[in-house]
Amino acid sequence: MDIAVIGSGMAGLATARILKDAGHSITIFEALPGRGMDSHSTEFEGGLIDAPLRVMNPHLWKNTLSLATYLGIETFPVRTYMACSWLFEDRIETWLTTSRSRIGNFPIINNRKGIQQYGWRLVKGMLQLKTAIAKFFKSKDQEITLAEFINNNDIEEVFLHGVVMPVLYTICTCSSKTIGEWPAKPLLIFLRQLTDGDALLRMQGGTPALVDKLIAGIQIHNGSAITQVKEQDSRVLVENALGEQYIFDRVIVATPTNKIEDFLNTEQFADDIALLKKFKFEQGKLVIHTDQTVMPPKRKDWAVLSYMMDRKFTRQQFTVWLNAVEPSLVGKTAVFQTWQPVIDIDPKKIISTVTLTRAVVDSQTVALNKELQIRHKDANRKVFYCGSWSCDGLPILESAVTSAMHIAEIFNAPLPFVGLKPKVEVSPQLGYYY
C-alpha cells in the first residue's frame, strides 16, 4: 500500500522503517525543515551535540537497541556517575559524588563528605526503597500514583529527594508535581532495573546516525506542516501548508496529540479527536551551553550527571556533561545540557535553547491507550496513531518504538529486529569511564 507517516520523531521513523521493509511504499511528512528526531542536533568544535543526549539502559530500551542493531549501528557503554550539590544563596556545596565498584559494579559513594555526613542516610534510604518496591510488587493494589507510593512508605528524605527523584527528573523531564501524579508501577520497574549495575549504552554517531538508517530509501517532505487529512472514498487525502495534495491508502499520525486538530478533518475524525485530546503534554527548556557554573565548584567532583537543589528540594536542576559521554567531544571545550535551569546561565555561553515536549502519564493513560488500540482494530480504519504517548510505561524512545511495533502488527509487518542483542564496542576516547 501507499502509506503516509506524519511526523519524523522516533515513532514515525520506526513505523516508516518497519513498513518500508515489509514492502509498503512510504512517504514521511515533517513540519520542521529537517528531521524531527535529530532536528536539534548540532556540531560543536567538530564534535556532535545531541539534543537531548540519548543513552539507554539495555533492559529498559531493549526494542530501541535491537532496532539499532538490526540497522547495523554499534553501541558503546557509558558510566553515568553523578554529583549532587546544595544550592545555597551564597555558594554551591557538593555533598555527594558516586562511581561504581570494580568488583560487582555496584554504585558507591566516593567522596569523604558524602560518606561522613550522608552515608548512613543514603544506605538507609536505599534499603528502605528496595523493601518498599518489593512490598509493592507483592501487593494486590498496584494502581497507585508515585506520590501515594512515597506517602505510604517511610523513605529517607535526602536519599529520596536528593538522589532518586533527580534521576526520575532526568528520564521523565517534567515537573515534580507531574511525576507525583504518574502511576507508580512503571517508575518503580525503572528504578528496580536501573540498579542492576549494567552500563548505559550510547549509539555510535548518536541520534543522526540512527535517523540516517531509519530514513534510508524513504521519501520525506519536510519544512511544511500538514493542514488537512481527509478520507475520500477508499483512500485518504493529505495536504500541506504549501497547498500540495497527496492521496494514500493509509495514514499513520505520529505527532503529539495536541497538534491533531490542526489537520484532522473535524467531522470525519470527531471521535478520535475527542479521545486523543485527553492525552496531556508538558513542555520544558533544555539549554545547551559552556557555562561551568552548573557543575560542582571543584573540577575533581565533576560527573556525567550534575544535580543541584536547595535544602528544601523546591529548586532543582540537572546537567549532563556531554564531553564525558560523546567521543567526538573529547578534548573540546566543556559543553553541557541543563534541563530547566534555576541558576542564571551566561547568555554569551549559550549555544542553543531547545523546547522539548513530553507526554504526561497519569491514571487515565492506560485506559486511553486500551481504547485507542481497540479502535485501531476496526477493519475499515484508514488513519492510525502512534507515539511515545501511546504505550504503557515511560514515554521515552522505547515507548515510541513499541508503538511502532503495535502499528506493524495491524499491517502484519514482520519485526525481524526483536530480540537482537546490541553490538557493544569500547570507545578508546572514553575508555577511562568504564
Mark whether 382 and 339 lie in a shared domain.
Answer: no
The predicted structure's pLDDT at residue 313: 85
Domain boundary among 358, 380, 398: 358
Q: What is the CATH number of the domain that holds 102?
A: 3.90.660
Domain limits for position 267: 2-57+204-276+364-410
Phi, psi of 320 (to 5 degrees): -105, 130
- Nearest residue to 309 via CA among 156, 129, 165, 117: 165
Please indicate, yes or no, if residue 433 is contained in any of the structural domains.
no
**Which has the minimum average pLDDT: 50-64, 180-194, 223-237, 376-390?**
180-194
- The answer to the question of residue 419 being in a domain is no
Count of domains observed in the chain: 2
DSSP 342: -
- Gap between the Cα atoms of 307 and 82, Å rounded: 7
Is residue 415 one of the residues assigned to a domain? no
| SS3 of residue 278 by DSSP | coil
Q: Residues 48, 78: one domain?
A: no
Please state, rounded to an integer, the average pLDDT across all residues of the chain.
88
In-domain check, residue 62: no
Q: Give the span between the Cα atoms of 237 and 229, in whole angstroms.
A: 6
Q: Identify the top-confidence range among 113-117, 133-137, 161-165, 197-201.
A: 133-137
Higher pLDDT, 45 or 159: 45
Residue 393 lies in a domain: yes
* Position with higher pLDDT, 119 vs 18: 18
First CA to last CA distance, the chain: 47
Same domain, 296 and 312: yes
In a domain, 197, yes or no: yes
153 and 165, same domain (yes or no): yes
Q: Answer yes or no: are the C-beta atoms of 81 and 303 closer than 8 Å.
A: yes
Q: Counting every residue, how long is the chain?
A: 434
Asked whether the beta carbons of 84 and 301 are under 8 A apart, the reply is no
Q: Which residues of 397-425 are buried (b: 16+ CB within 10 A; e: fewer)?
A: bbbbbbbbbbbbeebebebebeebebeee
Residue 122 sits in the same domain as residue 88: yes
**More confident: 248 or 301:** 248
| Residues β-bridged to residue 384 | 252
Q: Is the domain of 77 the same as that of 160?
A: yes
Q: Which long-range contacts (CB under 8 A, 24 or more apart) does 378-383 make?
A: 382/231, 382/234, 382/235, 382/236, 382/249, 382/250, 382/251, 383/229, 383/231, 383/236, 383/250, 383/251, 383/252, 383/253, 383/264, 383/269, 383/272
Distances (CA, A) of 53 to 40, 149, 289, 338: 10, 30, 13, 11
Contacts of 86 (CB under 8 A, 6+ apart): 92, 93, 94, 95, 308, 309, 310, 311
Burial annotation 262-291 (CB, 10 A radius, 16+ → b, else e): ebbeeebbeebeebbeebbeeebebbbbbb
Same domain, 181 and 316: yes
Q: How confident is the model at residue 160, as a pLDDT?
A: 87
Distance CA 190, CA 183 (A): 12
In this structure, the answer to whether residues 187 and 297 fall within a common structural domain is yes
pLDDT of residue 110: 58
Percent with pLDDT over 70 in the chain? 91
Listed range (163-167, 185-189, 338-342, 424-428) with the worst mean pLDDT: 424-428
Q: Are 229 and 29 in contact (CB under 8 A)?
A: no
Kind plus residue range of the DSSP H or E element containing 334: none
- SS3 call for 289: strand
Judge contact between 38 and 213, C-beta under 8 A.
no
Query: Do 102 and 180 share a domain, yes or no?
Result: yes
The average pLDDT across 179-193 equals: 81
What is the per-residue pLDDT across 407-433, written as a single tens digit (0 to 9) for each? Answer: 999 999 999 999 998 888 876 666 544
Task: Examine the domain organization and report whether 191 and 234 are in the same domain.
Answer: no
Residue 394 maps to a domain: yes
Same domain, 158 and 41: no
Residue 337 lies in a domain: yes
Question: Do 312 and 396 fall into the same domain?
Answer: no
**Nearest-CA neighbor of 40 among 28, 52, 26, 57?**
52
C-alpha to C-alpha distance for 54 and 47, rounded to whole angstroms: 15
CATH of the domain at 267: 3.50.50.60
Which tens digits make up the pLDDT trace of 70-126? 999 999 988 778 888 999 988 999 888 876 544 444 455 656 666 677 777 878 888
